[in-house]
Amino acid sequence: MRLADFVLDNMDAILSRWEEFARTLLPAAADMRTLALRDHAQQILEAVAKDLSTRQSREDQFEKSTGQAPVLAGVAETAAQTHALLRARSGFDINQLVAEYRALRASVLRLWMDECAPDSHHVDDMVRFNEAIDQAVGESVRFFTMRVDLSRNLFLGMLGHDMRSPLQAIQMTSSYLAALNAGENVSGAASRLIRSGDRMQALLDDMVDFNRTRLGLGMNIAPMHVDLAQLFADELEQLRSVHPGRQVDLDVTGDCSGVWDGHRLQQLLGNLVLNAIKYGAQDTPIHVTVRGESAEVVMEVINAGAAIEQSTLDCIFDPLQRGLDQPENTDSSIGLGLYIARQIARAHGGEIDARSNRAETVFCVRLPRDKQG
């Protein structure tokens, strides 16, 4: 018996094996009934059987094995895709999802071989079956990952929103205590609360910005006419007060006025300088240069220190990256500073890149005067 016919004729036995295995995937399957455990399994198997009965080229078969088969017109989702979404909602993890297909593959082939003793001319059925299962796995994993990412980002968005009110209460209360002049101990405690609140606010802002970009909403900016020379001078003055032991120099040439979101660009500069303070040589100054040109303004943040490997530079703007040589417990950030800096630059139609050698590490930002992203 050909494998396609065997799958259709033995659907109940195969589904029982599917359900038996799915029931072991705890804790997600603990309270699921038969209908939920067999979710879309029959439709997946019917699609596999139909695939086995359809003539295909070698190219078609290869595309299936890599999860790149063409999408059928008028079909919103395949059974494998819908199955993945429902498994994600039920609390399955991606390893459990893939394990279901692994068990299905083994069960079908074992039942077929035990009952039908397929001969050598049925080898192509096995190949086609494996390719069809690989296609279903690819569809499921892609949709499962999409669902998990969306759920995580929505959770982060709600968390960031809900944290703002208690954080603002902490900041307002600590500022009130600082203004009471109730003694050195109270003033010192209030100052520590203010600094901690500011740090929490910065982390929360980074998380919210990260979440917006991952949801495809982009970086929120409000452009207006600003003078970057003055804005950057103000930002560096604040950074020097927080890090009095570090020298940060500013050199401005040319016309640096234009239409940008000044607050966001101060945030960009602050992220770059804090990165230099954290990872650059501790006993050398940090140089910030701002150069106004006819079509753009170019800003560079330069620090001395060990050269950064090219492999690290290639992913240095990726989110949640840390300095490779920094102990885990010394990094007070969540690894979003450089990622946020790039998103701010791109929101203004600009770009940021990094280069490094034994002498210095340079982050260069280019901001066009006449283009907003």
| 363 inside domain | yes
| 373 inside domain | no
Residues 199 and 248 in one domain: no
Residues 246 and 214 in one domain: no
| 181 inside domain | yes
Residues 206 and 247 in one domain: no
Q: Tell me which of 168, 185, 218 is where a domain ends.
A: 218
Residues 151 and 240 in one domain: no
Residues 238 and 184 in one domain: no
How many domains does the chain divide into? 2
| 259 inside domain | yes
Residues 73 and 204 in one domain: yes
Please report which confidence band the pLDDT of residue 132 belongs to, taking 50, 70 and 90 as the band edges: confident
Please answer whether residues 245 and 286 qualify as being in contact, where contact means their C-beta atoms are separated by less than 8 angstroms.
no
If you search the block for the tokens 């804790």, which residue do you land on? 27
Output the average pLDDT for the chain: 82
pLDDT digits (tens, 9 = 90+) for 233-271: 999 998 898 888 899 999 999 999 999 999 999 999 999
Tell me the C-alpha distance between 42 and 168, whole Å. Answer: 53
Tell me the C-alpha distance between 207 and 154, whole Å. Answer: 12
Residues 207 and 81 in one domain: yes
Residues 114 and 257 in one domain: no
Q: Which domain holds residue 254?
A: 224-368
| 176 inside domain | yes
Residue 238, domain CATH: 3.30.565.10
Question: How large a percentage of the chain has pLDDT more than 70?
Answer: 85
Residues 164 and 135 in one domain: yes
State mean pLDDT over 31-46: 83
| pLDDT above 90 for 128 | no
Q: How many CB atoms lie within 10 A of CB 195?
A: 12
| pLDDT above 80 for 210 | no
pLDDT recorded at residue 286: 96
Q: Tell me which of 166, 200, 218 is where a domain ends.
A: 218
Please report which confidence band the pLDDT of residue 329 belongs to, taking 50, 70 and 90 as the band edges: very low
Question: How large a percentage of the chain has pLDDT more than 90?
Answer: 26
Tell me the CB-side half-sphere exposure of residue 69, using CA atoms within 13 A: 24
Residues 244 and 193 in one domain: no
Residues 184 and 284 in one domain: no
pLDDT recorded at residue 84: 85
Angle of CA points 243, 248, 228, to nearest 5°: 110
| 103 inside domain | yes
Q: Tell me which of 198, 218, 238 is where a domain ends.
A: 218
Tokens for 216, please give them: 């495809």
| 260 inside domain | yes
Between 161 and 97, the more confident residue is 97
pTM of the model: 0.56
| 168 inside domain | yes
Residues 177 and 48 in one domain: yes
pLDDT recorded at residue 64: 61
